[in-house]
Structure 1
Amino acid sequence: MPELPEVYALVADLGARLVGRTLDRFDVVSFAALKTFDPPASALAGRMIVAVDRHGKFLDLTFAAPGAGVAAGGDDELHLVMHLARAGWIRWREGPPVIKAGRPGSGPLAARLVLDESGDPPGSGLDITEAGTKKSLAIYVVRDPNEVPGIARLGPNPLDPGFTLEQFAGILNGAGRAQIKGVLRNQAVIAGIGNAYSDEILHTAHMSPFKPAAMTDDEVGRLFEAMQSTLRGAIERSDGLAASELKREKKLGLQVHGRTGEFCPVCGDIVRQVTYADSSLQYCPTCQTGGKPLADRVLSRLLK
């Protein structure tokens, strides 16, 4: 799943490719992915893309009113908002789409943006795909991004200049005994951090994923610095990369997430895993839990 650093990079890459281009058509292949009906997806045709933004993990393409030009703003703007979920991705296409035989919606293609012939290359655009059988990709065509339920309830951006240590401390104190891993991932509390970067932040901070959110001032400071350095470091590594390169870069930059059974790059211990019904987390016992391995949460709280 793309998280805050990858979405930052996607915004930069797509903005350079799309802003100023006019959409010829927007084809929805997987109708289950489209979560809105008014305005219709066809209303995007003929409009110019004037901005590419993000809200947490959501991508937001702004389309100007017909004939309005490249300046963003106006009552008749429309927004194409996408949440790529666990297995969704965006692929840049250098030319017109090739129509393949087969039942629509049976493959990974969920939707397609086809740009008009005036740009370079003509007919290029985006293919929005989703791998696997569990379909969670969500696409919205709205007049205001806040019409999307997930955006309306987003918490603050942890990299916003106004997001201070004091604000973070208040969030943790309010969460009380809730496990810190879940607090970091809760989009209504802090926007943009998912399963991978919450693992990385906690590893950098030397904290157990099951530690209660309410903690000492020193621990809050350590966690805040770990969050800032982890996210900003990932953004710096992704800077200038095309969408096709981001997944590889993310994987290479991770120290514990997705590395079960490998050596921790900090202390050399073996990275362990806790499995849930639909996800898993990774951690280093030496760095994070005083050498104690955590048990599968389905079975018990902690191996003594």
Structure 2
Amino acid sequence: MPEIPEIRAHAERLEALAAGEVLKRVEPLSFTALKTASPSPNDAVGWPLRSVSQRAKFLLLRFAPDAGDGLTFVVHLMQGGRLRVLEPGAKRPRRPRDGLARFEFESGLGLLLTEPGTQKRAGVWVIASDPAEAEPLARLGPEATEVDAAAMAELMAAHSARLHNFLR
């Protein structure tokens, strides 16, 4: 997947910029942006951003009151989406065409989930447990960067799908 290096670089840049920032507000700007109902994204308000990582095409923003349990925001950017950095004092978008969701920190820094085009399918899941075991990550296979030729042959032998469908 050619997107993995881009997603990984995006996660590293966001972590360098916002790690340690305390969450002030999560604001879904579009009806379809938030994909889960429980736990509430507001449960993470007051917690610092502990890490930003990547799993396949998803960004994982982990908020926790300490090094222990917390909440992970799983963000799918779709094809052209981004978590755009908004500097302190930036105008707050109010319409879905300007952004799908906004993370605002106590310092005034913000992250705006954007997606070009008209479909607006990017989304945010709020996960309280291990993100790897929860939707949407539970249905993913192994990381593409960690599969060698032998493992790929095993995966292909276990599926009777055509190559095109297997790779999807």
Q: Give the TM-score of the pair, scaled to structure 1.
A: 0.51
- Structure 1 residues 15 and 3, CA gap change in structure 2 (3 angstroms): same
Q: Are 2:165 and 1:182 equivalent residues in the alignment?
A: yes
How far the C-alpha of 1:86 sits from its partner, in A, is: 2.5
Match of 1:134 in 2: 119
> Do the aligned partners of 2:103 and 2:111 also contact (CA within 8 Å) in 1?
yes
Q: Are 2:109 and 1:124 equivalent residues in the alignment?
A: yes
Alpha-carbon RMSD across the aligned residues, in angstroms, is 2.1
- Structure 1 residues 154 and 108, CA gap change in structure 2 (3 angstroms): same
How far the C-alpha of 1:81 sits from its partner, in A, is: 0.9
Q: Are 2:19 and 1:19 equivalent residues in the alignment?
A: yes
1:92-121 deviations in whole A, cap 9, x for unaligned? 112233135xxx43423111111112xxxx
Structural mapping, 1:73-88, within 5 Å: 74-75=68-69, 77-88=70-81
Q: Aligned to 1:159, which of 140, 145, 159? A: 145
Task: Report how many aligned residue pairs link the two structures.
Answer: 167
How far the C-alpha of 1:183 sits from its partner, in A, is: 2.4
Structure ID, larger Rg = 1
1:129-182 deviations in whole A, cap 9, x for unaligned? 12222121111112021464220011011222xx33211111223344603x43
Larger RCO, structures 1/2 (Cα 8 Å, 6+ apart): 2
CA distance in structure 1 between the aligned counterparts of 2:115 and 2:11, rounded to whole angstroms: 19
Q: Give the TM-score of the pair, scaled to structure 2.
A: 0.88
Structure 2 stretches lacking a partner, 5+ long: none
Match of 1:113 in 2: 103
CA distance in structure 2 between the aligned counterparts of 1:159 and 1:106, rounded to whole angstroms: 34
2:144 counterpart SS class: coil
Structure 1 stretches lacking a partner, 5+ long: 118-122, 187-304
> Do the aligned partners of 2:21 and 2:105 also contact (CA within 8 Å) in 1?
yes
> Do the aligned partners of 1:83 and 1:137 also contact (CA within 8 Å) in 2?
yes
1:140 counterpart SS class: strand
